[in-house]
Structure formats: structure tokens, C-alpha cells
A and B are shown apart, each in its own frame.
Chain A
Amino acid sequence: MIGYEYTEFNRLSNPHGYMYSSFQGSEFIDSYFIERLKKIKKFQHLKEKKYKSNVDFFLYSKAAAVLNDCLEVGYSSELDLSLKSSFKWKVPFHSNDFLLDIDDSDILDLSSFNIKNELNTESLLVSILDYQLNKNENSLLKIWIDRLVQRFEVTKKLYESYPYNLSKGEGNNDILNLYWLFALSLTLFYDSTKNIKYLSTLLKITDLLCSLDVDELWHKIPIKGLLSVLVIELLSIKLLAKKIDEVNFDFT
């Protein structure tokens, strides 16, 4: 059986360039499905962490609803029963936290970001997500997502911050939350635009996340959220492959 080399090693410390990848036949698509399903099965058994931050809770409760909806509506024909039980992303919050008054006042408006200033990547991603979940307009969103796609594709990293003109990133590049937030954003953007460019970058980010030890991941990012992202990605590939006779991978 062909191995899926893109998650074989830790892709945060050993990024893959993806250049001139060789053709390995339909077995390669099978190897992708097998690897992703293995991860999905692992993640299914993990308990979701509690959200202590208001922003996290505010954002993820909306994102969960959108992703669950998107799976039910957009991909229901491809949704296998065994996957169906796995994708429900519920967002629990800590019972001691007082979250009744939560709003988005802690989230900066996307239009307030300026490429001439230094950008904090997490704040930017949170604003992008907030914009995606609350506004039905793609042009400003595309500008910022395209800038981050370009930064990630060139270096295969997301940095803590970017100085003037989004030039060379600064600070840590191993903050898993940034990769998770970007994966979530790309999933939502691919779902709304169906532009393959964003699916391609999403696959690279999820390769990176799936290449890490589960223990390393689950304290740092909402694992059930990642599970939903992986299921949508998997079903998107399955939908594209539907017109190809050679690709007939059976999920059961």
C-alpha cells in the first residue's frame, strides 16, 4: 500500500514543499482517505476542552453551528453513517464562567486592519472568522485570506506577527491555534466560494495538523472543531472525485 508522506513526519518542524509531486495512481487518493479517517477515528474519542475565553466561546459556538449546517446540507449525500456520528461539534463552556453577557466587543473589525501596520496574526484571524460568520460579503475577506494564503504558501508557516506590508513573519511560528483558526477560516471560505485554491491550502494546513501527535494537539485547539473541518475536507475531495471512475474509495 502507498504511504501518505505528507503526514508521515512532523510537518511543523519538517515542512513539505509539495513541488513536482509524483503521480502514484488512484491508490494515492485511497492513502489520503485512509490517513484522514485514522485521524478522525482518533479524534472522535477525545473529550472536548472547555472554553474559558469569551471570544473563543462566542466564535466557536457560531462556527460549530455553521459547520454542522454545512455538513447536513452540502454534503449529506456523501455522509456515511459512521462519519455522521462523529462530526457534531458542540461547544461546551466552563460552568463556573459567567458567559451570559458575551458579545463580540473584544473582536476588532476586519476593516480596521491595515497592511501598513504590524499585524498580530491571531487577532487578524479572529476578525476574519468573525467577519465570515456575521457578514454576507466576500471581497474584503478575500483580500485578507489571500494575503495569509500567500504568506503560508511561501514559508509553510504562520508567524505570530507580520510587520509592514506582511513581509517576513516575526515571532513564534509554532502556535497551533493559528493553524487551527486558519484551517477553520479556509473551510468556511471554500464552502462559500468552492474555489479549489482554498481547498489546496486547507489540505496543506490539515496535513500539518494531522502530522502532529494527538497529545500535542488536543490541549491547544478545539479537537471536535478540527474533526468537523477534516470531515468537510474529506467529503469535498469525495465530491470532486465522484466524476472519476478510478476513485471509488468506500468509507465503510
Chain B
Amino acid sequence: MRLILILHNIAMVAADTTRTISYLEHLIKYNLIPSYILLLLNKNNKLLPGQKNSANENEIIILLEDSGIQYEIASNTDINNDEVIRIIANREEKVFIYSGYGGVLLKDKIIESGKKFLHMHGGFLPDFKGSTANYYSLIMDNTIGASAIFINKEIDCGPILCRRKFSPPKKRTEIDHSSDSEVRAKILIECLMNYVNSGTWGYELKNNLGGETFYIIHPVLKHLAILGKRALR
């Protein structure tokens, strides 16, 4: 029988997205199980940013049920919702792995809830901040990256726990829902392993200042990043 390592001080807030599935698959594979997951389920037919198809809900619940992870379904998809904040604030865990819907920023109220939110940013920090940063880094230096940070009030400026650059993905058409999630999941595992081994949250770079903040890449440039096989600039 396989022993399960429950991370008692660590919970997770998870949307029903392809990224969450990737995180969960890696957490289960590496036997690093959060003690509790709050699921922000989208019950509407319209997909939210980060969802590929509406079948994700079942896939996540099956994963959680099969692995015996304790979870709860929130009444709202928005982490900034008062009821969601109340549930999180009342939990004992101090750190929440954050995997919400795309484009959602954590507002002051949730940031000040007394919990730390561990976010995997898709991009090598501090150089590539903001949205779709990995498409920009593909054009600029033909790499992608991921960085683990604790969220603070400035976007992608929290202290960096670990970060890494990766070779460009073989299948560039699947960056949004596959490669980007996978590199983030790898960094999540690296970060949690460091925590488990040392018993503390160590920082690779506390001072996450400077760099460039990017915004959703224009589709023409996104196509060039996908079609290109080397740095274009």
C-alpha cells in the first residue's frame, strides 16, 4: 500500500482548469498532498479563462476522489468573493497553493486574510512579469520559464521561492493548456520538495524588483512565437 504524505500546513484554492489538473497530477505523482482543497467550480456553460472544455469538472473531482484528498466546493468561482474569503480565513492551514481562473487578480481583502498564497507564475522572474510572458520569452530568447512566488499587492512582484528556465516546448500549439501548466507544475513540486526537505520556505530571490510587465500578447505575435523554432528578435 502506498503511503500518502499530507502537507498539513498547506491547502489549495483550485479552479476547474487544465492548469489545476496538471498541478494535481504532479502533486499526486510526487506524493505531496495538500491537506484541503477549496474548489471554485464553474457551473455555467460558458467557459472561464483557463478552461479548455466543460468536462474538466468531472476530471478534477475524479482525481480528488481517487486520491482521497479532502475537498470542498465553493459557492462562487471568484476568490475575492466574501464567502470564499471567509472559508479560507477560517482554515487552519497557513499557506494556500493558488490555481484560480485566468485574468483574476487577488484583491487586498484576500491578500490580507492572514494566509499566504503560493502562486506559480508562467515566466522567469523578475524578467518576465505579467500575462502570457512565456510567449514573449519564446520570441525574445527561445525559452519558457516558471517561478514560484508568494503573492503580494504588486502583480508578480512577491518574493521568489524558486524559478527555472526551460527549453521551448516541442508542441508549441499546446502552450496555453499544456506546456505552460507543466512547467508551472514542475516548479510547484520543486518548491514543495524544498519545503518538505528543509522545513522552511526558502527564497531564491526575495527582492523581485525590476524586469518587464507584459500584457496579453497580440495574436499575430502569439502565432509567430508558436511557428518560430528559435528566437526571432
Contact surface of A with B, Cβ cutoff 8 Å: 6, 17-21, 23-26, 28-29, 32, 146, 149-150, 153, 194-197, 199-201, 203-204, 237, 240-241, 243-244, 246-247
Chain B residues near A21 (CB, 8 Å)? 219, 222
Q: Judging by beta carbons under 8 Å apart, are B228 and A20 in contact?
A: no
Q: Whole-angstrom distance between the alpha carbons of A21 and B176 in the complex?
A: 10
Complex A-B: 8 CB contacts under 8 Å = A6-B219, A20-B102, A28-B219, A197-B212, A243-B232, A244-B224, A244-B228, A246-B227
Q: Whole-angstrom distance between the alpha carbons of A153 and B155 in the complex?
A: 15
* B191-214 interface (Cβ within 8 A of A): 212-214
In the complex, how many angstroms separate the beta carbon of A252 from the nearest chain B beta carbon? 21
Chain B residues near A150 (CB, 8 Å)? 213, 215
The number of residue pairs between A and B whose CB atoms lie closer than 8 Å in the complex comes to: 84
Contact of A203 among B102, B176, B212, B221 (CB under 8 A): B221
Q: Judging by beta carbons under 8 Å apart, are B220 and A32 in contact?
A: yes
Chain B residues near A6 (CB, 8 Å)? 219
Q: Whole-angstrom distance between the alpha carbons of A29 and B221 in the complex?
A: 9
Shortest Cβ distance from A6 into B: residue: B219
Q: Would you call B29 an interface residue if the criterion is a C-beta within 8 Å of the partner chain's C-beta atoms?
A: no
Q: Would you call B7 an interface residue if the criterion is a C-beta within 8 Å of the partner chain's C-beta atoms?
A: no
Chain B residues near A20 (CB, 8 Å)? 49, 102, 176
Q: Would you call B217 an interface residue if the criterion is a C-beta within 8 Å of the partner chain's C-beta atoms?
A: yes
Q: Judging by beta carbons under 8 Å apart, are A196 and B139 in contact?
A: yes
Q: Judging by beta carbons under 8 Å apart, are A29 and B216 in contact?
A: no
* Given A17-B216, A200-B221, A247-B227, 8 extra CB contacts under 8 A: A23-B223, A28-B223, A146-B213, A196-B139, A197-B136, A197-B215, A241-B227, A247-B224
